[in-house]
Structure 1
Amino acid sequence: MSNLYDHAYELEKALRNSEEFQTLKKLHQEVEQDEVAKKLFASFRQLQIDLQQKQMMGQQLSEEEVEKAQQQLQLVQQHETIGNLLNAEQRLSQAISDINKIITNPLEEIYGSPEEQQ
Structure 2
Amino acid sequence: MINIYNDINALEATFRKIPEFEALKAAVEVVKNDEEALNVFKNFRKIQIDLQKKQLAGEDILEDELVYAQKAAQLAQQNEKISTMLESEMKLSKVIEEVNRILIKPIQGLYEGIQ
Shorter-chain TM-score: what band? 0.7 to 0.9
The Cα shift of 1:29 comes to: 0.6
State the TM-score, normalizing by the size of structure 2. 0.88
Q: Which residue of 2 aligns with 1:100?
A: 100
* Structure 1 residues not aligned, in runs of 5+: none
Give the corresponding residue for 2:110. 110
Task: Please name the residue that 1:81 is paired with.
Answer: 81
TM-superposed deviation, 1:83: 0.4
Hey, what does 1:33 align to over in structure 2? 33
- For 1:2 and 1:43, locate their aligned partners in 2 and report how far apart those are by CA, in whole Å: 45
C-alpha deviation, 1:18, in angstroms: 0.8
RMSD over aligned CA atoms reads 2.0
Instruction: Report the counterpart of residue 55 of structure 2 in structure 1.
Output: 55
Secondary structure of 1:61's counterpart equals coil
For residues 110 and 58 of structure 2, what CA distance do their matches in structure 1 show?
A: 32
Structure 2's unaligned 5+ residue stretches are: none
Q: Secondary structure at the match of 1:17?
A: coil
SS of equivalent residue, structure 1 residue 7: helix
Q: Percent identity?
A: 40
> What's the CA shift for 1:11?
1.1
Is the partner of 1:104 in helix, strand or coil? helix
Question: 3-state SS of the aligned residue for 1:40?
Answer: helix
Q: Count matched residues.
A: 114
Superposition TM-score, scaled by structure 1 size: 0.86
How far does residue 7 in structure 1 lie from its aligned partner after superposition? 1.3
**CA deviation after TM superposition for structure 1 residue 26, in Å:** 0.6
